[in-house]
Structure 1
Amino acid sequence: MPRKLFGLSLFWRTFILLGLLLIAGIAAWVQTFRALEFEPRAVQAAQQIASLVNLSRAGLRYADSINRVTLIKTLSDQEAITLKPREPSDKFEPYEVSRFTQAIGNELKSRLGPTTVVASSVNGTPGLWVGFQIEKDNYWLQADSSRIEPMTGRTWFVWVGIALIATMLGSVIIARLINQPLKELSFAASRIREGEYDSVLDESMITREIREVNQGFNRMARELAKVEEDRAVMLAGISHDLRTPLARLRLEAEMSVVDEEAKRNIASDIDQLDAIIDKFMDYARPGEVELVPVNVSSVVDKAISQFRDTKRIRIAAKLPIDTRVMADETELSRVLTNLFENARRYGRNTYTGVTNVEVSYTRSGSWVILSVRDHGPGVAPEKLPQLTTPFFRGDAARTAATGAGLGLAIVDKALTRMGGELELGNAQGGGLVAHIKLKRAP
């Protein structure tokens, strides 16, 4: 039970704990009320019956025979009270069978005398029968037993039911009031995680602690937005400042270096530096994208067209032309280009030196899953979760080429921005397979 309770959301935990607390309070209240109500109710019921007996005794004592008959008839018609002589042959059952009836019987005997008899039935007729004496004559007085019955189970059920319903409604309202600010905070934090810094929480809350938390969160969001803006400006400046001397180096190499091989090596190094700068800029790209229906086959074909060197990489795609997903076309193209580039660098066949890549797809409910698989050496299983970490590279078999170590990190970040997922694994028969999961367009 504790593990299940801790696994619930904060709203349900608050609701259950409040409900249990209030139900325990109701149970304690019911027991206390019953204990406090028991003795006064027994005394009150005995007083009522004793008063009836005393009034009946006084009326019979001072009435003549004619008026006595009239009195007995009036009591029977108007007060539901029966008076009749008590015979020695009468058979009766004792009334004192429970704690409550025992208390009533004792109270009646203390008020009417020790010779008083209290019965629950006389000669087979049920009711509340009280045997008393007028001088030396014995009488039975039969009263309505509903006058002294304790509170029935139905009454208790109605009272407790109403209290439980009020308790549950109160628990829902209280739990919602407690958890609503936390729910808003959680939603705002999730938007911050996705790179959206425009979330603003209410700073005019009545509760001081929540107001202070919201104020602190808003300050944090503003600072993060400023840091993100400064980072974008800084990276743009770095990109510009680096590319200017790189362009000069390329020009100087073309004009000054005589050795053609050295010239090609310098140009290759400059291209590599330029590509690394592009990777940094891609990774630092802002997080907001607009999702629209995108034709997957068209984007895949465009990405494949950038890798025409069949001596280094060969890409085969098996996609229907009508498959569409909710994505940003530029981001999706960048995702596929990075995956193909990663395969070209690290997924070469050991014997042929050529990278063979297969692109396929499956549908799973409202999702489309693109699979990009190479036939290279694969990656150690324990290192798979780290492949999307910036600047992380796998084992030596997959690090023969140089790079920024940001390719798969860019892929993962771009898919997250588009509401998708990236899953990496080793394919059966060898090679790395990347599963791209995106929402299917309506």
Structure 2
Amino acid sequence: MPRRVLGLNLFWRTFAWLALLLAGAGLTWQAAFRALEAEPRALQAAQQLGDLVLLSRAALSDVEPIQRLVIIKSIERDATIKVQVAELRDEWKAYEHTPFARQVAQALIQRLGPDTFVAESVNGQSGLWVRFMAGRDAFWLRASHEPSASLPTPRAWWLLIVVAATLLGSAIIAGLINRPLRALSVAAGRIREGEYDSRLDEHTLTSEIREVNRGFNRMARVLAKLDQDRSVMLAGISHDLRTPLARLRLEVEMSVHDPAAQLAMAQDIDQLDAVIGKFMDYARPGEVSQQILLLADVLERETQSFRDPNQIRFRLRVPPNLRVKGDRTEVSRVFQNLFENARRYGHQPDQAALVDILAQIQGNEVLVTLRDHGPGVPQTVLSELTKPFYRANSARTAASGSGLGLAIVEKSLSRMGAHLEIVNAEDGGLITRIRFQRAD
């Protein structure tokens, strides 16, 4: 069986790359937006907090100490800030734990003056603290909420929408990119199977795809014309050659009186007729009709056509109800060529060929194994046996052979979706394995 090539097809590779590109672009955009947004947000936070400090300074500057306590209490009660008197023993930590915090602190100092201090904690109490002067006294003002450079955290449903939109957009774009390539692949597969009527859209908007489709359609038309000419030529060859062969046979029977010469000439004519048949079989068009065949009946019929036990004998082990998918004519042609090949080459000198045939189920396939007991072939030429006109060595070259038997077998099996494998047996002989599609 041919090995399956592991990996993703073009659609999924394109989809994965587009999804990664869009996701990366989204993350990069978000990071850039955060960086660009940080400075304006820092200035805005510093301005708002600076306004609160200025208002507090104005309220505390020109009042008596007793009145200041009243004002501080009223500020804490009615506002979201806290104001307390700064003392020399206060312990505080500078507000610079992040780049955004340093931007806020610098903006506040520029707005309120160089005697301003910004802290992230005072006497163990965390927050955003601003130390300012009101008259000759110093005060701390703490904002209730520390400004943040982070953007609002999106909700889960919004993230799901973004991910779904990214995947959907990637799938649509990948589908649009790969649709013409998929159509080209399908059309090429039909051409390979001998269906030359496949046509691609020649009016697509993409100029490169349009030119490829036009070239493919021209190729398909040329191949269809060549196939039609071949069919006409084969019909003419078959008629023009076999008609004079029939006349020669008749003249031999009537004019030649020596029985030995008559037999030799008749065999030569039969050989020519068989060679013409081989050429016709190999060049036959590739259309097949898949049918459900009872394998035992097909093998029984083909083995019975080789009637001379002095030349070839068969041992069959085939389940009686085993069914396969294939074209009846093609399957018969496959076994005819294999049996003929075994009759000629699959035996020892002065012995009849013995062919063992075994059929067994393997998953969705049926494995048919044919084994002869001849000399086999050199290991180095096994892969060459199915090439047209190739002969392994002089010992396997008969005057009646055309060199097309195994080539016809491989071509017929390929038309039906079956597979051929030829190996040498360990104790001598040639083993041919055929994998048919199993029919339930």
Query: TM over 0.5, yes or no?
Result: yes
Distance (Å, rounded) in 1 between the aligned partners of 2:164 and 2:50: 41
Q: 1:74 to 1:235 in 2, by over 3 A?
A: farther
Partner in structure 1 of residue 14 of structure 2: 14
Q: Does the 8 Å CA contact 1:90/1:122 hold for their aligned counterparts? A: yes
5+ long unaligned stretches in structure 1: 1-5
Pick from 425, 428, 441: which aligns with 2:426?
428
Does 2:255 match 1:256? Answer: yes
Q: CA deviation at 1:31?
A: 4.6
Which amino acid letter does the alignment assign opposite residue 426 of structure 2?
Q
Q: 1:112 to 1:319 in 2, by over 3 A?
A: same
Does 2:405 match 1:410? Answer: no
Q: Does the 8 Å CA contact 2:420/2:434 hold for their aligned counterparts? A: yes
The 5 Å alignment of 1:216-227 reads 216-227=215-226
The 5 Å alignment of 1:383-398 reads 383-398=381-396
Which amino acid letter does the alignment assign opposite residue 129 of structure 2?
W
Q: 1:81 to 1:277 in 2, by over 3 A?
A: same
Partner in structure 1 of residue 144 of structure 2: 144
Partner in structure 1 of residue 3 of structure 2: none
The 5 Å alignment of 1:267-346 reads 267-346=266-345
Q: Does the 8 Å CA contact 1:293/1:324 hold for their aligned counterparts? A: yes
Distance (Å, rounded) in 2 between the aligned partners of 1:274 and 1:365: 41
Q: CA deviation at 1:131?
A: 1.2
Distance (Å, rounded) in 2 between the aligned partners of 1:156 and 1:99: 26
Q: Does the 8 Å CA contact 1:46/1:108 hold for their aligned counterparts? A: yes
Distance (Å, rounded) in 2 between the aligned partners of 1:92 and 1:249: 122
Distance (Å, rounded) in 2 between the aligned partners of 1:155 and 1:136: 47
Partner in structure 2 of residue 245 of structure 1: 244
The 5 Å alignment of 1:88-103 reads 88-103=88-103
Distance (Å, rounded) in 2 between the aligned partners of 1:79 and 1:19: 49
Partner in structure 2 of residue 3 of structure 1: none
Q: Does the 8 Å CA contact 2:38/2:100 hold for their aligned counterparts? A: yes
Which amino acid letter does the alignment assign opposite residue 328 of structure 1?
D
Q: 1:63 to 1:362 in 2, by over 3 A?
A: farther
Distance (Å, rounded) in 1 between the aligned partners of 2:101 and 2:356: 90
Q: Does the 8 Å CA contact 1:346/1:400 hold for their aligned counterparts? A: no
Aligned length: 435
The 5 Å alignment of 1:10-49 reads 10-22=10-22, 25-26=25-26, 28-49=28-49
Q: Does the 8 Å CA contact 1:26/1:163 hold for their aligned counterparts? A: no
Q: Does the 8 Å CA contact 2:34/2:151 hold for their aligned counterparts? A: no
Which amino acid letter does the alignment assign opposite residue 312 of structure 1?
Q
Q: Does the 8 Å CA contact 2:290/2:327 hold for their aligned counterparts? A: yes
Q: 1:75 to 1:384 in 2, by over 3 A?
A: farther
Which amino acid letter does the alignment assign opposite residue 333 of structure 1?
S
Q: CA deviation at 1:402?
A: 2.6
Which amino acid letter does the alignment assign opposite residue 320 of structure 2?
I
Q: 1:203 to 1:74 in 2, by over 3 A?
A: farther
**In structure 2, the residue corresponding to 1:145 is in which secondary structure?**
coil
CA RMSD of aligned residues (A): 2.8
**In structure 2, the residue corresponding to 1:219 is in which secondary structure?**
helix
Distance (Å, rounded) in 2 between the aligned partners of 1:157 and 1:130: 37
Q: CA deviation at 1:122?
A: 2.2
Q: Does the 8 Å CA contact 1:377/1:398 hold for their aligned counterparts? A: no
Partner in structure 2 of residue 84 of structure 1: 84
Q: 1:59 to 1:9 in 2, by over 3 A?
A: same
TM-score (normalised: structure 2): 0.90
Distance (Å, rounded) in 2 between the aligned partners of 1:409 and 1:432: 16
Q: Which moved more, 1:151-160 or 1:28-37?
A: 151-160
**In structure 1, the residue corresponding to 2:332 is in which secondary structure?**
helix
Q: Does the 8 Å CA contact 2:290/2:326 hold for their aligned counterparts? A: yes
Distance (Å, rounded) in 2 between the aligned partners of 1:324 and 1:138: 102
Which amino acid letter does the alignment assign opposite residue 430 of structure 1?
G
Q: CA deviation at 1:43?
A: 2.1
TM-score (normalised: structure 1): 0.90
Q: Does the 8 Å CA contact 2:96/2:102 hold for their aligned counterparts? A: yes
Q: Which moved more, 1:95-104 or 1:228-237?
A: 95-104
**In structure 2, the residue corresponding to 1:368 is in which secondary structure?**
strand
Q: CA deviation at 1:29?
A: 3.5
Same amino acid, percent of matched pairs: 53
Which amino acid letter does the alignment assign opposite residue 327 of structure 2?
D
5+ long unaligned stretches in structure 2: 1-5
Q: CA deviation at 1:329?
A: 1.8
Q: 1:126 to 1:162 in 2, by over 3 A?
A: farther
Q: Deviations over 1:356-398 (max 9, x none)?
A: 1111122211100101111111111221111111111111222
**In structure 1, the residue corresponding to 2:263 is in which secondary structure?**
helix
Which amino acid letter does the alignment assign opposite residue 139 of structure 1?
F
Q: Does the 8 Å CA contact 1:377/1:397 hold for their aligned counterparts? A: no
Distance (Å, rounded) in 1 between the aligned partners of 2:268 and 2:398: 16
